Structure 1
Amino acid sequence: MKVLIIGGYGLLGTDIYNYFKNSGHTICRLKKEECDITDIYSLKRSITGFEPDLIVHAAGYTNVELSEQKPMEAYNINSVSMYNLLSSVAESEPTIVFFSTDYVFDGEKGSPYTEEDRCHPINAYGFSKLIAEDILRANYKKYYIVRTSWLFGKSGKCFPEVILNKLVSSTQTLNVVSDQIGSPTYTEDLAKGLVDLLKCPYGTYHVTNSGSTSWFELACSIAQKKRFLGRTYSVHCIK
């Protein structure tokens, strides 16, 4: 199978690339410098030149806080790019996997969300990803929308890495919120799970590691693991 990965050098995309490559597939991953997903002509050239059977869309504007300051940039990268992608594959019609987020929900349910729950994003990032979902769902048939959460891995910036760096470089107490609950998801596990997902009917799926925790609990766990360095790390809970 010929697999094209958009965002193939990112936190998740790198692990997807490695897993499919090691499984014997023909892989192409696009660099930002080679393909601008906000430019339909640039994207179409990359897709037409490779002729993939499967496109994995793992690129996006993922900075939630910065999305509030630059909403149009988030919408352009996360939403408008989906129009560009669908226009680029109108003739070849490969299967598309689009990675979305738990931020399409408002977090008020108090228990894990299901695929049938009503979406209600409360920030620009969540809205931009939901719009992309709606564009794909309304205009294409061969798709998988994969909603996941709290990604961490070895190939890019993620919460554990940020916490580790702050703990090592700071002598002050680290303040972390406790009122946000989620399921931290290891990118290598998600990449492996994608293979099983491709055996399922087209549609929208929630795919995370099991269990849940808060940002504060996760930070405390990281701090405890680092105590072997001879320092005691302090993490303070804020709401």
Structure 2
Amino acid sequence: MKILLTGATGLLGSAIVEAAHQRSLVCNALPRPSLSLHTLSALANALQGYDVLIHAAANTNVEQCEVAPDDCYRDNFLLTELIAIAAAIAKVKMVFISSTGIYGEGQEIPYREYDSVHPPTHHHRSKMMAEQAVISQNPCNLVIRTGWLFGGAAANPKNFVARRIDEAREAMKAKGYIESNTEQRGVPCFNQDIATRILNLTSANWSGVFNCVNTGSASRFEYVRAVIELAGLPLEVRPSNAAAFQRKAKVSNNEMAVNWKMDTLGLPEMPAWRTSLEHYIKNALLAEGVQQ
């Protein structure tokens, strides 16, 4: 299987590159295409000779998407639509990375793939529209809904786990505690687990929409408390509500999901989120000296 990948340096994209190389698969990066009259032909030409295109690039700044929606829809919807059309022209399977956040506030239990979506923000609506474009161009394409990704290099500014450890260390010098939201719930997802499962689904030629998350769920408070505990930091994590965090984007308090489709099809269960978090902190962040 020969892969062309957008977002190759991102949190998930970098894990896909690593997982592909471990399998001796060709996985080349596709730089962000410029939007012009020649975009479709350039993309179709770039796809020649590949078996699959994984589109992992996205505008992930949920707050900024509320301020500049045109940029959000350009990056997440329009570009994805053009890539999907080009993939259809080139007869190349496409895998699109979406978000469990698109489900919205419809229920309080974890979402399954058959639940309706009610995207609560411009970011999530742009991802929903992109999903529709991808499937409409080729029903054999694959859409992956995931969320709350962690992993990667400690130096990455978007590394949630490493930044919480930094925040905890600063708090230990000052007020002696940090606060975290008890109201919002989701599934912390290890980028390596998700990347591995994406390649498994792709190589088996699955299509349609799949939730792809680690097993279990947590509130932001439970998640952050686990990070601090597993990092061995003697710091109190205090509960707070969503109102304490001033946000422009009214994200759903329920971003939980389960892998109903994979489980029903008899695919292997995904690892538990806390097990993968412990592995990541002790074997990756420790190796980089983050806890020293």
Pair 1:207-2:204 in alignment: no
Unpaired stretches in structure 2, ≥5 consecutive residues: 242-292
Q: How many angstroms apart in 2 are the aligned matches of 1:95 and 1:212?
A: 31
In structure 2, the partner of 1:8 is 8
- Alignment RMSD: 2.0
Pair 1:49-2:46 in alignment: yes
User: How far does the alpha carbon of each residue in 1:33-68 deviate from its partner, in whole angstroms, 9 at most, with x for none?
Assistant: xx3364574575355235221000000011222221
- How many pairs were matched up? 233
Of 237, 240, 258, the residue aligned with 1:238 is 240
- CA 1:37 to 1:197, structure 2 compared with 1: closer, same or farther past 3 Å? farther
Q: Is the 8 A contact 2:96 2:143 kept in 1?
A: yes
Residue 238 of structure 2 aligns with an amino acid whose one-letter code is: H
* Correspondence list, 1:191-202, <5 A: 191-198=195-202, 199=204, 201-202=206-207
In structure 2, the partner of 1:175 is 179
Of 56, 59, 69, the residue aligned with 1:58 is 56
- Superposition TM-score, scaled by structure 1 size: 0.89
Q: How many angstroms apart in 2 are the aligned matches of 1:74 and 1:94?
A: 26
In structure 2, the partner of 1:143 is 141
Pair 1:107-2:105 in alignment: yes
Residue 196 of structure 1 aligns with an amino acid whose one-letter code is: N
Residue 163 of structure 2 aligns with an amino acid whose one-letter code is: V
Q: How many angstroms apart in 1 are the aligned matches of 2:83 and 2:138?
A: 11
Q: Is the 8 A contact 1:149 1:208 kept in 2?
A: yes
Off by >4 Å, runs of 4+ in structure 1: 37-40
Moved more, 192-201 or 122-131: 192-201
Q: Is the 8 A contact 1:39 1:84 kept in 2?
A: no
- Superposition TM-score, scaled by structure 2 size: 0.74
Residue 163 of structure 1 aligns with an amino acid whose one-letter code is: R
Q: Once the two structures are aligned, what percentage of the paired residues are identical?
A: 25
